[in-house]
Amino acid sequence: QVQLVESGGGLVQPGGSLRLSCAASGNIFSITIMGWYRQAPGKQRERVAAITSGEIKTYADSVKGRFTISRDNTKNMVFLQMNSLKPEDTAVYYCWVVGNKADYWGQGTQVTVSS
């Protein structure tokens, strides 16, 4: 069984920063892609950022230059550093991992950007 546990969400003022973390545990191996999706109320889930095992990173246009994704392969962890946060970044953020030739999802962590 594979588990993804996220942490780091919360309430932050516009212009502030948050760092999300996600740890994958259990019977998971051959992790290829790790990343983050988000879903705002009334909107479809969208990919925010992803990073391959070869450290190739991709970002949604809306977060380029503000968010940075990274990973620690020794601990099966992925991180999302979010800077210059905007109210439109408010959403539930989901960790996503591709391993064992399957997709796995975290339970989601709420990020709220508001003054």
Torsion 9-10-11-13 (CA) sign: negative
Mean pLDDT for 44-52 is 98
- C-alpha to C-alpha distance for 67 and 64, rounded to whole angstroms: 6
At 48 the pLDDT is 98
d(CA 65, CA 92) in angstroms, rounded, equals 21
Residue 51: strand, helix, or coil = strand
pLDDT at 3: 93
Position 30 pLDDT exceeds 90: no
Nearest to 76, CA basis, from 110, 26, 8, 37: 26
At residue 27 the predicted structure's pLDDT band, cuts being 50, 70 and 90, is: confident
